[in-house]
Amino acid sequence: MVRNFYKTMAQEHKGVGSKIMGAIQHAEMHIDAALKPCKKPKPKPRKNSVFTPSFTTAIKRIFNAETGHDYIISGGAITMINSILQAVTKTLARHAQDLNNKVTLSMRHILLAIRLVFDESLGLNVMDKTMHMVTVYEESIKAKSQDVSKVQILVPPYMARKILKGVAPRVEATACAMLAAVVQVLVSILIQRASEYTNSEHMRTIMGRHVNKVMNTDTDMVSLVAKLHLVLQPECKPVQQKPTSWRDKKIKRNILELQKDTSLQFQAAPFSRWCVAILNNHCNPTNRLAQDLMPTIQDYLEKRMIEFFDAVNLVAQHSNRVTVHPNDVELTVNLTTLPTKALGSLADELAPKIKCMYSGARRLSRKAAIKAISHDSIEATMAFFSQHLAAVLNAADMVCSAQRKRTLTGAHFKEGLGLLGIHVI
């Protein structure tokens, strides 16, 4: 009836009726699709694999309970103990399932697996301790006790349940408690024996090498390693690299660009004013200056300053610092053998001229791969090289006067370096 009505409407009013008929057809299509019987998804086949847990938190908890915060355990030792526990729990679960003839895995099968995996002395020790812990655990559950001191199992039983559920369809609660107790006893044995090696080295931190020594020297543990086919890796600290910031990338790029650059870094005008102020104070003011003198001085000083900044950077790295401080410069000055001459009252006159050369000195420090240098360090460096340049120019002036020349040249500067016993680079 409704369809016929809309058909007549569609004939009379072609625009509106056609839209209504299209909507009805669209709705009927969705209704037919909804009324179709839906197919149930096929259940995925269950993989017969053992769950691999991480016992890191449990190891820390047992460690604090055993040592009472008298020792510290390293991350490498925790990683090594964790790998041992994973191998032991997997092997125990598989052996227990092989010995199981029924559907449900019980505590008896775990005890039989302990006898197969561990040696006689270690197995008896583990069984005695685990049986006592499981009985206390069962009594506390039956009494619904909230006293934590009575519950001795510090490893969560649900982790053992996940491991056993990978090999058996049904697992008793006592079997889960037994496997968790085995893990706890094994951790306490390893910590106790590793602490002996820690005491022998007069240390408070149990390292991975101490656990490695226990597994390689103790007779019970050596046989356990052979049965489990464990490959003990040496302790290696995970390298935690900090994310490189935009500023670090920019500094590295700047260092590489400056190290490839062979041009002089100081600006010519400020460098000339600085040199002329020292020349007028320590040399004959009537001498003329040759055209090649300033480039020779600048080339020598920049190479010497790069070598000096290399040594300063090593001092800063020795102090585990990236930024160069004035005390690093002071120590390097005390260790260097470059000759110097006191400036006296000239130091105050040179201070404003040195400030104009800070940017060039900073670029030279980047050439020496220094990422950060303080303002005071650059000032101390320039003050030292002012004294060094005064000594060299004084020697060059002596060479010039000995040759009875009135013009100070680059050759005189090099001869002055030789006179002071400095090898020309």
* Domain ranges for the chain: 2-31, 56-228, 246-419
Instruction: Answer yes or no: same fold for 56-228 and 246-419.
Output: yes
Q: Which fold has domain 56-228?
A: Histone, subunit A (1.10.20)
Name the DSSP class of 171. E
Kindly indicate whether the domain formed by 246-419 is annotated with CATH number 1.10.20.10: yes
Of the candidates 75, 36, 29, the residue with the CA atom closest to the CA atom of residue 56: 75
All residues at 6 or more sequence positions from 133 whose CB lies less than 8 Å from its CB, including other chains: 152, 153, 177, 181, 184, 185
Q: How many CA atoms lie within 13 A of 352 on its CB side?
A: 3
Residue 171 β-bridge partners: 105
Of the candidates 199, 204, 235, 189, the residue with the CA atom closest to the CA atom of residue 88: 189
Q: Provide the residue-wise pLDDT of the chain in tens; the chain has 425 residues.
A: 445 555 565 555 555 555 556 666 665 665 565 555 555 555 554 444 555 667 888 888 888 888 877 788 888 888 888 888 888 888 888 888 888 877 788 888 888 888 888 887 888 888 888 888 888 877 877 776 555 445 577 888 778 888 888 788 888 888 888 888 888 888 888 888 888 888 888 888 888 888 888 888 888 888 888 877 776 655 555 445 556 788 888 888 999 999 998 899 999 999 999 999 998 888 888 888 899 999 999 999 999 999 999 999 999 999 888 899 999 999 999 998 888 888 888 888 888 888 889 999 999 999 999 999 999 999 999 999 999 999 999 999 999 999 988 899 999 999 999 888 887 65
Residue 105 β-bridge partners: 171
